[in-house]
Amino acid sequence: MYCGTVNDLENQTTPFLMIDLPSFESNLSKMSDALPGTSLRPHVKAFKSTAVAQRLYAAGHTAFCCATIKEMEGMVSVGLSDDLLLANEVLDTNRLGALAKEGASITVAVDSKETINAAVAGGVSNVLIDVNVGLKRCGCDVSEAGNLAKYAKNVGLNIRGVMGYEGHLMMVQDRATQAEMVKDSMMLLLKAHENVGGPIVSAGGTGTFDLNSWATEIQAGSYLFMDTEYAKLGLPFAECLSVMSRVISTAPDRSWAVVDAGLKALGMDHGNPSVQDGIVGFCSDEHTTLYPNKGQPQVIWKVGDLVSLSPAHVDPTIAKHQNMFAYEGNTLVEKWPIDLRGW
């Protein structure tokens, strides 16, 4: 999708999401080399964009996972429905059942009799047994997985296997320690799998993509863009998403500058964004105040300058915008609508 309406950086309305396209493509192909085809199940929650999903599909990743029903519906609407997993528990399954009736291949995570009953009631026939592998969130106890699978079979469901997200280990910064902990988590998942059966062992994420050799498929998405938090791990992926802003004000002595991207344009749960050549002071709704680097009396920016902010958490940052703009240098190449937001 070439977008000819705005073709240079300076004329773009700020704030906006800028993707460095060569880095994005490099991230995509590095992961495809490591985890080709369906050994990667890209996580749609990271990008919420069918345009990005189409690129992954074209690279051979034909099975996806989603975090919301809205994401599932959007993927089906553009025909990316070969194998869609809702990697979350859900009780209101009628919308998922409607997608299955349309011919989409729909699988949902279950971790209780209630969610199994909901799958049946809504008309979803494929499930993964979600197992708690250490994160205090969803997933049944390892010892219960076999019983739940039996219960699900008895009510007519097709068990495709197990899922167990080691989310508590994504940001462990010592890689050797992280590798040991991932192994321990996956031993739990494999134990559950023994009693559940089915071809799929689904787990992992960007932070453990190269350490988790037990899962049959890795659920990752953030690797496409990265953020300042993931960058600490030393993974082979480049940060390629910026929140582009413009300086609208400077202090009289230029001891600070103010740009027009604030906390409504940035995922804030991992803290403030970062900026090159300065320090982020604080974010307001539609502003971020920037200070000079230590030892510098003045900011380097003047009113009108474009400033690139690097978000601390990329997934919720993307979810706040309507489009991503993919650039090669200063030239806009593609506009990717973020069309899978909401619920």
ω into 15 cis (within 30 of 0) = yes
Question: Does 190 sit near its own copies (CB under 8 A)?
Answer: no
163-182 mask for its own copies (x: CB under 8 A)? Answer: ----x---------------
Size of interface with its own copies, in residues (CB under 8 A): 58
285-314 mask for its own copies (x: CB under 8 A)? Answer: xxx-x-------------xx----------
What lies within 8 Å, CB to CB, of 8 at 6+ separation is: 330, 331, 332
**CA-CA distance, 231 to 153, in Å (whole number)?**
43
**CA-CA distance, 150 to 147, in Å (whole number)?**
5
Nearest to 162 by CA among 214, 105, 98: 214
Q: Which stretch binds its own copies (CB under 8 A): 121-129, 153-161, 192-200, 280-288?
A: 280-288
Taking the least distance from each CB to its own copies, the nearer of 32 and 151 is 151
Question: Does 245 sit near its own copies (CB under 8 A)?
Answer: no
What lies within 8 Å, CB to CB, of 314 at 6+ separation is: 46, 222, 225, 226, 227, 230, 241, 267
Among positions 7, 9, 14, 120, the unique one binding its own copies when judged by CB under 8 A: 14
Question: Does 155 sit near its own copies (CB under 8 A)?
Answer: no
Taking the least distance from each CB to its own copies, the nearer of 33 and 67 is 67
Helix (H) and strand (E) counts in the chain: 9, 16
Long-range pairs of 176-181 with CB within 8 A, sequence gap ≥ 24:
178/207, 178/208, 178/211, 179/211, 181/134
Is the CB of residue 299 less than 8 Å from the CB of residue 254? yes
Among positions 9, 121, 319, 333, the unique one binding its own copies when judged by CB under 8 A: 319
How far apart are the two ends of the chain, measured CA to CA in Å?
A: 26
Among positions 280, 283, 309, 332, the unique one binding its own copies when judged by CB under 8 A: 283
Q: Which stretch binds its own copies (CB under 8 A): 176-184, 193-201, 231-239, 319-327?
A: 319-327
Q: Enumerate binding residues for its own copies (CB under 8 A).
A: 13-16, 45, 67-68, 88-92, 111-112, 114-115, 132, 136-141, 144, 167, 246, 248-252, 256, 258, 260, 263-265, 267-269, 281-287, 289, 303-304, 315-316, 319-322, 342-343
